[in-house]
């Protein structure tokens, strides 16, 4: 099989599964629907691992070729095409392996849902879209994949389309992402207009060095660097998809979707598309320090301030969601520090441990009969041992425990930021260091509340609350009933626990083995470009990456380790030992607590300004512009005139369509004769 | 005369329409329906050779037919198509077929006349796109209004009289001036109404060009419609039956934009360049202002009507993006793709609304809610068309907007940025409507009683879905037809007539 067919097979086999399950799910039934979609993704996953292996041992060459011509215009040709290099290969494996785990997990999680086949169809469609995104060799297909994953995300957040909160969340997610796409598309426009008239990565990157000092006027009279403007516009796209401040508001609400997709789409893969994109564009971003500073600031704010929000959440999924936001901020900071390879390394480790944490949370939710409130949990380790152990491993990876995967990627980020020479790096360093403590605290707050301490599901049942911020709206289906008075939590079936166990393995181990090739070695050579002379931050991380064992041992004498340990200890003290203290703090600093609980009031602000503002403006244009001025003054004035004429004419109506038509045609002929009279007489 | 493919696409539906009309009253409605379907299928089949046998490597007019009509006045029955007009003839014949199917059992009164009106209109519209003689164009251009006027006036809603008068008044105003322009050009071109002779005129003073442009503008801007002469469209759509809205949105609006390409730009290029900032401004108003107006509509048909105006803003924007005297190839072809795509998408959107209207007899968003519970298949299709209306890649709705935005960035970044707001507005008004109508709990007992699509509706939805996706995934099929014609147009417009 040639490489092109191989890559087509990788991309298309999930699509085939999706189409079969989606269009014929009603006929083939549930079992066949999950078999066919899992088969499709499994084929992709196996082949992807083969491709990655080829890149690791050097037997596979970079593949860059068109598949078919999508459009030719103005003499330029735009094709759907594949670029498969080491970066793509890594993403292929991450996407397909996590997707495969989520597919299997879904058999258990969606077991009772009437939309079973539809769900499998969507997640396979997502996998296809994500694969097209990472395999693209040009900006258009990238945008295709970009929007397609956004569409599937929209469909899946609103999967339970009867729930008002879900269909509010999916609309919000789509529109906020569209704001990002607005910038992204304009960025693509600038690339097309100035970078040699092509949208193929290789052509664009080749044209970029010559444009280093080119400026353009966007506001007449003000010269801006072309590369800076282009990179910032592209990054706005990344901000939408990867939920960076201030376009992060959609991600917490996306938790309205079923948990498997929170793991797959809103943690492991889709939200990292922005990180992937900027890494892919590293030759462009390396040429603009301004853009890199912007990237770094956005990432720092997200990393720290979204972490704070995780501290006050009571919904188990939302804690993991804010943790995801914060970790995406870490990746973005790494991008800003020009440590693209480190960012991608964190994308990979995060994909595994965060998918694990989400699926673990989902398992807990199932065990709790779809109650998501951590205040009703506690002591679950006795009832759900596999979920407990795997969640603990995931949490340890997340907080950066030495030798766990998250440690290697997060410490590399911190090293790169520490040694970055950008203006924003001081703030960024503070944010990522402080973030270590915050991460450890909220992660183990969740861990202790869920798996340890008193079993609270009995006592708290009386004031059982619906999760989320729309408490007033009652859920409409049978998914939120919680444990009954005599129920006990139960461990999930093997289709749920198997993916947990399988994801726990890379969550623990992959960092140790991957850091050398990915960060220290040559794996991304020629694919991701960092100008080490201008941006030396990465060098420190590369240096440490050469010896994973030494790096792990050295960690015990570094600040991040002790911050993380302090976070865990504080969480233990607050939630195991002295639960009256957090309550007292909450009371004492109720202002701060309210601010955090309301997510800094950004949702309210956006709703008031953008949603209400555009509706008010629309109403004004409609009522005043269209109805009062245009129709009222101009049209109806003349229409009244005609109206009075037609009232007279109406008396002549006979009611037969023939006579209408005849009169009309005669009328036209009479008019035409009248107009032509001067010509005819001449 | 009937051997020529263009005469065939004009007269086949008209003759079929007359035959349908001859079936008479409603007691023979089934016969009228099947006859109309046969006519529409035949009309579509005879239009296909135009597409398949079109020579992509030939820039001029193809399938030309020319014979004298009124010799004393130099009026000829002169037909021909290039890569631009050909696409719209096929689109129109396709839409007519969809409309006949859409009205199948929905129209119970005066069925024969209803079907006949659409068939005759289809022939007249094809004539307008195929005409190479200005008077012939004018006759078809005005003639096609008559069936539309009747369709709204006879099968329309309660305020149909107001709507049809508004429609007629608006359109009449412009076309009279266009006729005056034709007569002026007739003398300039040596007593010929040949459109190509108009275009070939070498010298026209700028003042005259501007007057001519205004005459064309008033006629075509109403049809597009451009802000501020757009207010007839929402009213017409609201009152028109489903089929009327489908044709109105899919085809009638395109004639206006086509007029700019065939008349205004090549005949008076200098005035077009001179006045292009105004057109660009009005187009951007259409995208932004109308986009916001669409957001607050409570009537689904009005919402989609405003959405049409907003999308047509991209068409006029794309046509008038000049760098010096050079039109932008991206933007022009984008405008054309947008026209074709909008033909499919808007027809599909209006059809979807019609499907719901047939069941609940309301167009009010507030009267729905949770339709997906009762009509899941329908909901899936409407999701696809809603996404196409929001310009999602891999649907046809993306291609044209993408091309125009790409072209606009090359000309003026701020114009591009304003145009690109459609990414947000388009998604906002379409998906917000979708959310309120389709998602959620079953809204009321009317929705509770809704039945999912029948076989006929399913067929229409499938055909439209395939076209919308096909054009999004492989636009090259359409775009390669228009390249040479667009290049010729650009070269022609670049030559000053001063």
DSSP string for residues in B254-279:
HHHHHHIIIIIHHHSHHHHHHHHHHH
Alpha-carbon distance A100 to A119, whole Å? 14
Q: Which residue has the tokens 């959609």?
A: A250
Closest CA to A194 of A176, A181, A213, A167: A213
Task: Determine the pLDDT at residue A185.
Answer: 94
Alpha-carbon distance A141 to A323, whole Å? 30
Count other C-beta atoms under 10 Å from residue A78's C-beta.
Answer: 22
Nearest to B165 among A190, A642, A668 (CB): A642
Closest CA to A23 of B381, B372, B457: B381
What one-character DSSP code corresponds to residue A271? G
Report residue A474's pLDDT band, with 50, 70 and 90 as the boundaries.
very low
Report residue A648's pLDDT band, with 50, 70 and 90 as the boundaries.
low
Q: What angle do CA B72, B78, B84 make, to 5 degrees?
A: 145
- Tokens representing A302 are 């997200």
Task: Determine the pLDDT at residue A680.
Answer: 44
For residues A645-662, average pLDDT: 54
Nearest CA in chain B to A73: B330
Chain center to CA of B496: 30
Alpha-carbon distance B113 to B60, whole Å? 38
Closest CA to A234 of A335, A130, A331: A335
Report residue B222's pLDDT band, with 50, 70 and 90 as the boundaries.
confident
Task: Determine the pLDDT at residue A464.
Answer: 45
Predicted complex ipTM: 0.91
Contacts of A604 (CB under 8 A, 6+ apart): A598
Task: Determine the pLDDT at residue B403.
Answer: 92
Alpha-carbon distance A652 to A575, whole Å? 88
Report CB contact under 8 Å: A167, B439. Answer: yes
Report CB contact under 8 Å: A144, B393. Answer: yes
Nearest to B329 among A73, A185, A638 (CB): A73
- Tokens representing B429 are 């008004």
Task: Determine the pLDDT at residue A467.
Answer: 43
Positive or negative: CA dihedral B205, B210, B215, B219: positive
- Find the helix packing angle between B329-360 and B85-102, rounded to 10°: 10
Cα separations (Å) of A549 from A130, A184, A412, A511, B99?
34, 41, 14, 11, 72
Q: Is the pLDDT of residue A105 over 50?
A: yes
Alpha-carbon distance A392 to A515, whole Å? 22
- Tokens representing B243 are 């089929």
Q: Is the pLDDT of residue A276 over 60?
A: yes
Q: Check residues A329 and A464 and name the one with the higher pLDDT.
A: A329
CB of A403 closer than 8 Å to CB of A553: no
Task: Determine the pLDDT at residue A673.
Answer: 53
Q: Is the pLDDT of residue B338 over 60?
A: yes
Task: Determine the pLDDT at residue B171.
Answer: 73
Segment among A9-23, A46-60, A63-77, A89-103 with least mean pLDDT: A63-77
pLDDT more than 90, % of chain A: 45
Report residue B189's pLDDT band, with 50, 70 and 90 as the boundaries.
confident
Nearest to B410 among A158, A168, A193 (CB): A193
Q: Which of A618, A654, A656 to mutate to test the interface with B (most CBs of B within 10 A)?
A: A618
For chains A and B, count residue pairs whose Cβ atoms are closer than 8 Å: 172
Alpha-carbon distance B250 to A600, whole Å? 47
The chain-wide mean pLDDT, for chain A, equals: 86
Alpha-carbon distance B437 to B446, whole Å? 13
Q: Is the pLDDT of residue A670 over 70?
A: no
Q: What angle do CA B95, B467, A67 make, to 5 degrees?
A: 155
CA of A298 vs chain B CAs: smallest distance (Å)? 22
Q: Which of B384, B393, B403, B481 to mutate to test the interface with A (most CBs of A within 10 A)?
A: B393
Segment among A92-96, A578-582, A638-642, B416-420 with least mean pLDDT: A638-642
* Any A CB within 8 A of B166 CB: yes
Q: Is the pLDDT of residue B153 over 90?
A: no
Segment among B173-187, B314-328, B385-399 with least mean pLDDT: B173-187
For residue B150, count CB atoms less than 10 angstroms from its CB and return exposed for 0-12, middle for 13-18, buried for 19 or more: buried
Q: What is the pTM of this model?
A: 0.90
* Structure confidence by residue, pLDDT tens digits, B251-275: 989 999 999 999 999 999 999 998 9
Closest CA to B228 of B278, B285, B303: B285
Cα of first residue to Cα of last residue in chain A, in angstroms, is 79
CA dihedral B174, B61, B466, B252 (to 10 degrees): 10
* Structure confidence by residue, pLDDT tens digits, A134-189: 999 999 999 999 999 999 999 999 999 999 999 999 999 999 999 999 999 999 99
Task: Determine the pLDDT at residue A601.
Answer: 85
For residues B314-320, average pLDDT: 93
CA of A217 vs chain B CAs: smallest distance (Å)? 9
Alpha-carbon distance A670 to B93, whole Å? 30
The SS3 of residue A496 is helix
Task: Determine the pLDDT at residue A472.
Answer: 40
Report CB contact under 8 Å: A679, B73. Answer: yes
CB of A621 closer than 8 Å to CB of B289: yes
What one-character DSSP code corresponds to residue A635? I
Q: Which conformational region is residue B361 in: left (phi greater than 0), alpha (psi within -120 to 50 degrees), or beta?
A: left
- Tokens representing B121 are 């209109």
Q: Which conformational region is residue A680 in: left (phi greater than 0), alpha (psi within -120 to 50 degrees), or beta?
A: alpha
Alpha-carbon distance A102 to A500, whole Å? 10
For residues B469-498, average pLDDT: 89
Q: Which letter, b or e, does each residue of B220-246 get, where b requires 16 or more Cβ atoms within 10 Å of its Cβ?
A: bbbbbbbbbbbbbbbbbbbbbbbbbbb
Q: Check residues A263 and A632 and name the one with the higher pLDDT.
A: A263
Q: Is the pLDDT of residue B494 over 70?
A: yes
For residues B382-388, average pLDDT: 94
Q: Is the pLDDT of residue A462 over 50?
A: no
Nearest to A186 among B420, B473, B474 (CB): B420
Q: Is the pLDDT of residue B464 over 80?
A: yes
CB of B293 closer than 8 Å to CB of B254: no
Task: Determine the pLDDT at residue A455.
Answer: 82
pLDDT more than 70, % of chain B: 99
Contacts of B334 (CB under 8 A, 6+ apart): A73, B314, B318, B399, B400, B401, B402, B403, B404, B405, B406, B407
Q: What are phi and psi of A65, to 5 degrees?
A: -155, 150
Segment among A37-51, A324-338, A384-398, A478-492 with least mean pLDDT: A478-492
pLDDT more than 90, % of chain B: 48
Chain center to CA of B445: 37
Q: What number of CA atoms fall less than 13 Å from residue A93's CA on the CB side? A: 21
| Chain A residues whose beta carbon lies within 8 Å of the beta carbon of residue B293 | 618, 621-622, 625-626
CB of A251 closer than 8 Å to CB of A244: no
Radius of gyration of chain A (CA): 29
* Structure confidence by residue, pLDDT tens digits, A588-600: 888 888 888 888 8
For residues A415-437, average pLDDT: 91
Nearest to B441 among A162, A615, A619 (CB): A162
The chain-wide mean pLDDT, for chain B, equals: 89
Alpha-carbon distance B313 to B338, whole Å? 10
Alpha-carbon distance A472 to A464, whole Å? 13
For residue A486, count CB atoms less than 10 angstroms from its CB and return exposed for 0-12, middle for 13-18, buried for 19 or more: exposed
Q: Is the pLDDT of residue A468 over 50?
A: no
* Any B CB within 8 A of A610 CB: no
* Structure confidence by residue, pLDDT tens digits, B103-133: 888 888 888 888 999 999 999 999 999 999 9
Q: Is the pLDDT of residue B147 over 90?
A: no
Q: Which residue has the tokens 């039945």?
A: B451
Task: Determine the pLDDT at residue A434.
Answer: 93
CB of B111 closer than 8 Å to CB of B91: no
Residue A415: is the preceding peptide bond cis (ω within 30°)? no
Task: Determine the pLDDT at residue A273.
Answer: 93
CB of B200 closer than 8 Å to CB of B268: no
* Structure confidence by residue, pLDDT tens digits, B343-356: 999 999 999 999 99
| Chain A residues whose beta carbon lies within 8 Å of the beta carbon of residue B289 | 621, 625
Report CB contact under 8 Å: A70, B228. Answer: no
Report residue A470's pLDDT band, with 50, 70 and 90 as the boundaries.
very low
Closest CA to A326 of A347, A345, A302: A302
Report CB contact under 8 Å: A618, B149. Answer: no
CB of B312 closer than 8 Å to CB of B225: yes
Report residue A477's pLDDT band, with 50, 70 and 90 as the boundaries.
very low
Alpha-carbon distance A676 to B436, whole Å? 54
Report residue A490's pLDDT band, with 50, 70 and 90 as the boundaries.
confident
- Contact map slice: A 646-675 vs B, CB within 8 A: 646, 657, 660-661, 664-665, 668, 675
Q: Check residues A165 and A471 and name the one with the higher pLDDT.
A: A165
């Amino acid at each position: 099989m040639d490489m092109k067919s191989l890559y087509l097979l990788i991309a298309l086999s999930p699509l085939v599964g999706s189409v079969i399950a989606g269009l014929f799910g009603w006929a083939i039934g549930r079992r066949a629907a999950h078999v066919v979609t899992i088969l499709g993704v499994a084929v992709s996953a196996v082949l992807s691992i083969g491709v990655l292996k080829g890149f690791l041992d050097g037997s596979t060459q970079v593949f860059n070729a068109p598949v078919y011509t999508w459009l030719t215009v103005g003499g330029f040709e735009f094709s759907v095409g594949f670029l498969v290099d080491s970066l793509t290969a890594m993403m292929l494996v991450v996407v397909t392996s996590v997707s495969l785990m989520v597919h299997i997990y879904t058999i258990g999680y969606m077991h009772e849902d009437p939309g079973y086949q539809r769900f499998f169809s969507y997640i396979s469609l997502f996998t296809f879209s994500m694969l097209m995104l990472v395999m693209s060799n040009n900006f258009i297909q990238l945008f295709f994949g970009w929007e397609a994953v956004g569409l599937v995300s929209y469909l899946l957040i609103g999967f339970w389309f009867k729930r008002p909160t879900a269909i509010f969340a999916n609309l919000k997610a789509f529109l906020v992402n569209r704001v990002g796409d607005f910038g992204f598309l304009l960025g693509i426009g600038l690339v097309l207009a100035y970078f040699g008239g092509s949208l193929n990565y290789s052509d664009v990157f080749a044209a970029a060095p010559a444009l280093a000092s080119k400026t353009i006027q966007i506001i007449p009279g003000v010269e801006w660097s072309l590369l800076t403007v282009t990179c910032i516009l592209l990054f706005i796209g990344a901000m939408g998809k990867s939920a960076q401040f201030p376009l992060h508001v959609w991600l917490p609400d996306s938790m309205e979707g079923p948990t498997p997709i929170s793991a797959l789409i809103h943690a492991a893969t889709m939200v990292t598309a922005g990180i992937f994109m900027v890494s892919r564009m590293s030759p462009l971003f390396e040429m603009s320090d301004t853009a890199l500073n912007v990237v770094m600031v956005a990432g720092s704010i997200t990393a720290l301030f979204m972490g704070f929000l995780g501290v006050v959440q009571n919904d188990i999924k939302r804690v993991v969601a804010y943790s995801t936001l914060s970790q995406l901020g870490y990746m973005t900071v790494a991008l800003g520090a020009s440590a693209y390879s480190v960012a991608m390394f964190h994308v990979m480790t995060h994909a595994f441990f965060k998918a694990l944490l989400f699926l673990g949370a989902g398992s807990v939710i199932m065990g709790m009969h779809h109650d998501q409130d951590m205040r009703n949990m506690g002591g679950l380790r006795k009832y759900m041992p596999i979920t407990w152990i795997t969640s603990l491993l995931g949490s340890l990876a997340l907080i950066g425990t030495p030798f766990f995967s998250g440690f290697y990627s997060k410490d590399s980020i911190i090293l790169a930021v520490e040694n970055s020479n950008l203006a924003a790096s001081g703030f960024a360093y503070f944010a990522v260091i402080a973030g270590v403590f915050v991460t450890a605290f909220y992660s183990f707050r969740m861990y202790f509340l869920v798996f340890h301490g008193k079993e609270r599901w009995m006592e708290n049942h009386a004031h059982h609350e619906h999760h989320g911020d729309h408490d007033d709206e009652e859920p409409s289906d049978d998914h939120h009933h919680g444990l009954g008075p005599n129920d006990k939590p139960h461990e999930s079936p093997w289709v749920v626990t198997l993916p947990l166990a399988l994801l726990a393995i890379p969550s623990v181990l992959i960092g140790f083995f991957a850091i050398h090739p990915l960060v220290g070695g040559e794996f991304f050579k020629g694919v991701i470009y960092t100008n080490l002379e201008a941006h030396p931050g990465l060098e420190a991380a590369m240096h440490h990456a050469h010896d994973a064992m030494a790096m792990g041992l050295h960690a015990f004498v570094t600040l991040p380790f002790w911050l993380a340990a302090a976070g865990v200890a504080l969480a233990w003290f607050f939630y195991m030992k002295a639960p009256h203290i957090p309550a007292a703090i909450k009371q004492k600093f109720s202002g701060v607590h309210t601010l955090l609980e309301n997510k800094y009031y950004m949702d309210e602000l956006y709703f008031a300004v953008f949603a209400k503002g555009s509706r008010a403006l629309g109403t004004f244009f409609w009522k005043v512009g269209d109805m009062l001025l245009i129709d009222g003054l101009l049209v109806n004035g003349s229409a009244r005139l005609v109206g009075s004429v037609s009232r007279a004419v109406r008396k002549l109506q006979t009611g037969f369509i023939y006579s209408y038509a005849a009169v009309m045609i005669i009328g036209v002929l009479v008019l035409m004769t009248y107009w032509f009279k001067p010509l005819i007489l001449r | 005369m009937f051997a020529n493919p263009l005469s065939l696409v004009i007269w086949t539906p008209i003759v079929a329409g007359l035959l349908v009309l001859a079936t008479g009253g409603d007691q023979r409605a089934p016969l009228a329906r099947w006859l109309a379907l046969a006519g529409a299928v035949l009309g579509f089949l005879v239009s296909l050779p135009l597409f398949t046998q079109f020579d992509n490597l030939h820039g001029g007019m193809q399938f030309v037919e020319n014979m004298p009509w009124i010799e004393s006045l130099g009026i000829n029955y002169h037909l021909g198509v290039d890569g631009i007009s050909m696409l719209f003839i096929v689109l129109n014949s396709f839409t007519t077929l969809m409309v006949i199917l859409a009205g199948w059992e929905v129209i119970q009164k005066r069925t024969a006349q209803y079907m006949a009106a659409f068939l005759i209109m289809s022939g007249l519209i094809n004539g307008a796109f195929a005409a190479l003689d200005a008077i012939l164009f004018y006759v078809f251009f005005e003639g096609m209004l008559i069936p539309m006027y009747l369709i709204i006036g006879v099968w329309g809603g309660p305020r149909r009289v107001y709507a049809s008068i508004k429609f007629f008044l608006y359109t009449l105003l412009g076309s009279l001036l266009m006729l005056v322009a034709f007569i002026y050009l007739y003398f300039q071109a040596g007593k010929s109404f040949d459109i190509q002779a108009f275009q070939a005129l070498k010298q026209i003073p700028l003042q005259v060009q501007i007057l001519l442009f205004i005459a064309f503008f008033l006629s075509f801007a109403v049809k597009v419609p451009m802000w501020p002469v757009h207010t007839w469209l929402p009213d017409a759509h609201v009152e028109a039956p489903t089929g009327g809205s489908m044709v109105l949105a899919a085809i009638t609006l395109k004639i206006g934009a086509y007029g700019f390409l065939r008349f205004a730009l090549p005949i008076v290029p200098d005035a077009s360049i001179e006045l292009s900032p105004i057109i660009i401004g009005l187009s951007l108003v259409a995208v932004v202002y109308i986009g916001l107006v669409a957001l607050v509509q409570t009537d689904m048909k009005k919402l989609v009507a405003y959405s049409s105006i907003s999308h047509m803003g991209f068409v006029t924007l794309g046509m008038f993006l000049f760098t010096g005297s050079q039109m932008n190839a991206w933007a022009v072809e984008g405008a054309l793709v947008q026209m074709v795509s909008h033909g499919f998408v808007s027809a599909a959107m209006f059809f979807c609304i019609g499907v719901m209207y047939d069941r609940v007899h309301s167009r009010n968003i507030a009267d729905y809610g949770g339709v997906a519970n009762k009509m899941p298949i329908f909901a899936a299709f409407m999701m696809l068309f809603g996404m196409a209306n929001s310009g999602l890649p891999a649907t046809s709705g993306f291609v044209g907007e993408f091309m125009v935005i790409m072209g606009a960035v090359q000309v003026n970044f701020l114009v591009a940025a304003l145009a690109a707001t459609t990414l947000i507005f388009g998604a906002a008004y379409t998906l917000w409507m979708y959310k309120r109508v389709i998602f959620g709990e079953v809204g009321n007992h009317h929705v509770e009683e809704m039945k999912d699509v029948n076989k006929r509706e399913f067929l229409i939805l499938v055909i439209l879905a395939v076209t919308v996706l096909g054009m999004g995934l492989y636009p090259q099929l359409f775009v390669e037809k228009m390249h040479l014609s667009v290049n010729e147009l650009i070269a022609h417009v670049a030559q000053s007539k001063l």
